Amino acid sequence: MELRHLRYFVVLAEELHFTRAADRLHIEQPPLSRAIKELEEELGVLLFDRNRRGTVLTAAGATFLQDVRRLFTILEQARENAKAIGSGLRGSIRIAVSDGAVDPRLSAFLARCRAEEPEIEIRLCELPLAEQLRGLRSGDFTIGFAHTAEGGEGIVAEPVWQDPLVLALPALHELLAHKAVPLHELGSHPLILCDPHVCEGYCRELARLLRPLENEPNVVEHVASLDMMLTLVGAGFGVGFTTETRIAGCRWPDVVIRPLAVESAVITTYLLRPDDDSPPASLERFIVRLRTHFGGQQN
């Protein structure tokens, strides 16, 4: 079995069409068909079912595809690590960030990490929670930050810091009569919430907070950014949620911020990582530094 066979297999599994796959690989169709046949013979299973309706993956082929993709991920990481070490670095930490968990405190911490261990490359990628979890399991990412501890099997979650949740209200809104807004007062007001596809973990925590309301929350808009939420709130479309840290640097006309009169109205940022008994030494040092840095900053 050669890497060529595996590369051909992945492309065909993605295209499910021999002609298109051959075009992508810049080869003729017969060499592709021959390579797939050789691979199936060596494995002793059919990877593709070919019939009049087209080409589809068999159950064995679908399972093999997942494993081969993990193999190519490991090979890519090996290539990156070799290049990093060759350029004077001693490895890399690949960080996924979801749910809008980008924060000035994270910036300061990462700057400290770079100053203390400049030979360790740190790379960040912002993406939805579901993609982060897939990447953590496949090895695409070393660790991640998100607003949920529900990572599922094989993922360990550790709280890092918390932020009070606050309300964004239109100027002159009736809820401004409260210095701290009781949760039950929200039931009759239209809400502007973050898009759950963009901030899945954050939305889970918000839904948990709103669960005690007698009636289903009246959600009138889902937005993908803080700026859009504040724009709609300022225009009087409804009431929005954010955190003290995110709103601290914002000055938005016609929007007033009020705390919630609920002790549990906090959003926690979690460190997510694969459940690994023997993580790399560079990752162990990163986690110890993280705990030390944020040990006194939980609130």
3-state secondary structure the chain: CCHHHHHHHHHHHHHCCHHHHHHHHCCCHHHHHHHHHHHHHHHCCCCEEEECCEEEECHHHHHHHHHHHHHHHHHHHHHHHHHHHHCCCCCEEEEEECCCCCCHHHHHHHHHHHHHCCCCEEEEEECCHHHHHHHHHHCCCCEEEECCCCCCCCEEEEEEEEEEEEEEEECCCHHHHCCCECHHHHHHCCEEEECCCCCHHHHHHHHHHHCCCCCCCCEEEEECCHHHHHHHHHCCCCEEEEEHHHHHCCCCCCEEEEEECCCCCEEEEEEEEECCCCCCHHHHHHHHHHHHHHCCCCC
Q: What are the tokens at 84? A: 């990093």
Mean pLDDT of 261-276: 91
* Six-digit token string for 124: 């960040």
Mean pLDDT of 77-95: 68
Query: How large a percentage of the chain has pLDDT more than 70?
Result: 95
Q: Pick from 14-18, 24-28, 143-147 the range whose average pLDDT is largest.
A: 143-147
Percentage of the chain lying above the pLDDT 90 cut: 40
Residue 170 has what pLDDT? 95
Measured distance CA(22)–CA(2) in Å, rounded:
17
Check residue 169 and give its pLDDT. 95
Residue 195 to residue 208: CA distance in whole angstroms: 16
All structural domains of the chain: 3-74 (1.10.10.10), 90-159+268-294 (3.40.190.10), 162-267 (3.40.190.10)
Residue 88: predicted pLDDT: 47
* pLDDT of 297 strictly over 70: no
pLDDT at 89: 47
Q: Tell me the mean pLDDT in the region 285-293.
A: 91
Distance of alpha carbon 173 from alpha carbon 176, whole angstroms: 6
Looking at residue 86, what is its pLDDT?
60
The pLDDT tens digits of the residues spanning 27-77 come to: 998 988 999 999 999 999 999 988 877 888 899 988 888 888 878 777 776
64-100 in b/e burial notation, b at 16+ Cβ within 10 A? Answer: bbeebeeeeeeeeeeebeeebeeeebebbbbbbbbbb
pLDDT averaged over the chain?
Answer: 87
Residues 6+ apart with CB under 8 A from 294: 105, 109, 160, 161
In Å, what is the CA distance from 91 to each residue of 85, 109, 185, 280? 6, 19, 52, 10
Cα angle 127-245-175, degrees, rounded to a multiple of 5? 110
User: For 189-237, how does the pLDDT look when each residue is reduced to its tens digit (9 = 90+)?
Assistant: 999 999 988 899 999 999 888 888 878 888 999 998 889 999 999 999 9
Mean pLDDT of 267-291: 89
Q: Please state the rounded mean pLDDT for residues 239-244.
A: 93
pLDDT 10s digits, 149-172: 999 999 999 999 999 999 999 998
Looking at residue 111, its pLDDT comes to 92
Confidence at residue 148, expressed as pLDDT on a 0 to 100 scale: 92
Q: How does residue 85 score in pLDDT terms, banded at 50, 70 and 90? A: low
pLDDT for position 87? 55
